[in-house]
């Protein structure tokens, strides 16, 4: 399974888009590791990177929302915190118990939820930022 930064994911904000590209690449690295049976140390590295990168990216998006007075910041932040927790749980599960098909399914599910968040919620922030600059 490989994710692509397709046209429907473009928000139009250069920082947000470039970070989403990095996130998708990081998710592909995890998926590659999970499917090719790489040793667990390598997987721990890639999944921890994904988890940390999500936090960094969410923080940047929230700073942009704060700077521009985005009206839906509270709900957006709440969604980010929840997603961070869920990714962290998967990362811990893989680190502790090794690769399982359940973990792969769970991560795949979380990725499709995140891509949907980009298509809907992150596009709204980008639009708001472009109008307020
Ligand atoms: Fe985002
Ligand atoms: Fe977001």
Q: Give 79's pLDDT tier (boundaries 50, 70, 90).
A: very high
pTM of the model: 0.94
Place of tokens 């994710």: 3
Name the closest ligand to CA 121: 2
Q: Which ligand is nearest to the CA of 24?
A: 1
Ligand 1 centroid distance, CA of 76 (Å): 10
Q: Each residue of 18-65: pLDDT tens digit?
A: 999 999 999 999 988 888 776 777 888 899 999 999 999 999 999 999
Q: Assess contact for 84 and 67: CB atoms under 8 A.
A: no
- pLDDT bin (cut points 50, 70, 90) of residue 116 is very high
Q: How far is the CA of 102 from the centre of ligand 1 (A)?
A: 25
Please name which ligand lies nearest the alpha carbon of 115. 1
Q: How far is the CA of 46 from the centre of ligand 2 (A)?
A: 21
> H or E segment at 88?
helix 73-97
According to CATH, the topology of domain 10-132 is: 1.20.120
* pLDDT for 69: 97
Q: What is the pLDDT of residue 98?
A: 81
pLDDT the model gives residue 99: 81
Question: Could you tell me which of 93, 84, 17 has the C-alpha nearest to residue 55?
Answer: 84
How big is the CA angle at 78 (ends 74 and 80), to the nearest 5 degrees? 120
């Amino acid at each position: 399974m490989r994710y692509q930064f397709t046209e429907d994911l473009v928000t139009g904000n250069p920082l947000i888009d470039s970070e989403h590209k990095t996130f998708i690449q990081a998710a592909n690295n995890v998926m590659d590791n999970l499917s090719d049976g790489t040793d667990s140390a390598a997987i721990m590295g890639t999944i921890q990177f994904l988890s940390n990168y999500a936090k960094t990216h969410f923080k940047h998006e929230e700073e942009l929302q704060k700077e521009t007075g985005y009206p839906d910041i509270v709900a957006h932040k709440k969604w980010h915190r929840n997603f961070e927790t869920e990714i962290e749980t998967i990362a811990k599960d893989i680190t502790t118990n090794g690769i399982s098909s359940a973990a792969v399914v769970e991560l795949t599910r979380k990725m499709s939820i995140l891509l949907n968040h980009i298509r809907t919620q992150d596009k709204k922030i980008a639009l708001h930022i472009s109008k307020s600059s």
